[in-house]
Structure 1
């Protein structure tokens, strides 16, 4: 398999001048990096890319989010269709606005309580153990309450939405292909109406 390192980044970026000094300067300046579908299974050190804003790592074999502490400028992170089972090591990404984690193995939405700017969370279609549903850590939900406006939780065996009522600025919720039957809680009905009115 393949580890994400500066070597891999250097090979993947189109850079005419391959002399080492210029390449280093170039890597420090890049803002978008597309390493989708490269058989990457681990994130190593590529901390020279300090100005990174958007990182595409979907369709790989990554099992752990790590080594992104340097990337405080990242606003968009694409991790769909990997092997991630835990949302972790993202607390230094203070500018993260959009997080794409669909098609992984996550059972609990957690580890986002230090990120205050996140506006979109896409966590649809997790590969859950039989009979399990996607769960939400209350601490994380409270921390997302003011910033989160888009949430995709489709295809996760979810049977109720009551705990999401703390998300006061949610304007777009996608929850298709779950196990929702009816909304018993009248407070939740009002919240759903508010979300609908905001959209």
Structure 2
């Protein structure tokens, strides 16, 4: 089994020249970028001497568990796509992590990111799921990322609805290509993303719905690119005006075709009929008659 350790770093030709003039422990303390992609690594050992590490490349390996990274308080970028990871664990200490790449693993539930308050990009595309499974996103994790996450990639994960993602109000780039989204109600989610600039839903059944593109353009006021095609500002304004005109016309028609409202007749004071009781009597009887 290949394990990433400081001994393995010492043997790496990529780091040999860089450590000249420094003792190896000193070199490890100055190390900020560590490149160990496609090295058949299955496990992460003790790297605590690399306390200034900011970028770690471990993609295209055989890693099954995220572990032994609690020391990396300064880590901002973590690349672990195309491994065999099944759970997102042991990342709570990475308070400065801004970009996390976990595509091409075996993750079924996205969780354990509640402490990553500075995470701006999350890449989860192409999870190797069992037949019939779909990628699930824990609502607690989504709520914790609501104020920071700007980029989300969930391509090709059998996802069929997006309601829980509505909380991600800072999203600017969203990609959900080749999933199973089929209902135009997804536009209700997108209406909660006022910062959205780029979105790709290609390969979903919803793309074949009538007026699919027109409806999303009117909902996403800042969207610049949809499914790889730029949105012309004149086109957007035309569609917004057309929608407003259509809604106004519908409202007028509803008023014209709605049945008249029956109002209750106001009650009025009764009419008093004065009727003398006799020629020499001053008493009267008041008879109340409706108007």
TM-score, with structure 1 as normaliser: 0.94
Other-structure match for 1:10: 10
Q: Whole-Å Cα distance in 2 between the matches of residues 39 and 162 of structure 1?
A: 38
Task: Report which structure shows greater RCO (CA 8 Å, sep ≥6).
Answer: 1
Question: Does 2:64 align with 1:76?
Answer: no
User: Gaps spanning 5+ residues in structure 2: where?
Assistant: 198-221, 225-291
RMSD: 1.9
Q: Say which SS state the counterpart of residue 26 (structure 2) adopts.
A: helix
CA contact (8 A) 1:101 1:123 kept: yes
Shift of 1:198: 5.8
Moved over 4 A (4+): 17-21
Q: Whole-Å Cα distance in 2 between the matches of residues 31 and 163 of structure 1?
A: 36
Other-structure match for 2:161: 160
Distance 1:4 1:20, change over 3 A: farther
- CA-to-aligned-CA distance 1:127-153 (integer Å, 9 cap, x gap): 011111000111100000000000000
Which one has the largest radius of gyration?
2
Alignment length, in residue pairs? 199
TM-score, with structure 2 as normaliser: 0.65
1:50-69 → structure 2 map (5 Å cutoff): 50-69=51-70
1:42-191 → structure 2 map (5 Å cutoff): 42-184=43-185, 187-191=188-192
Distance 1:22 1:134, change over 3 A: same
CA contact (8 A) 1:124 1:156 kept: yes
Q: Whole-Å Cα distance in 2 between the matches of residues 140 and 80 of structure 1?
A: 20
Shift of 1:183: 2.7
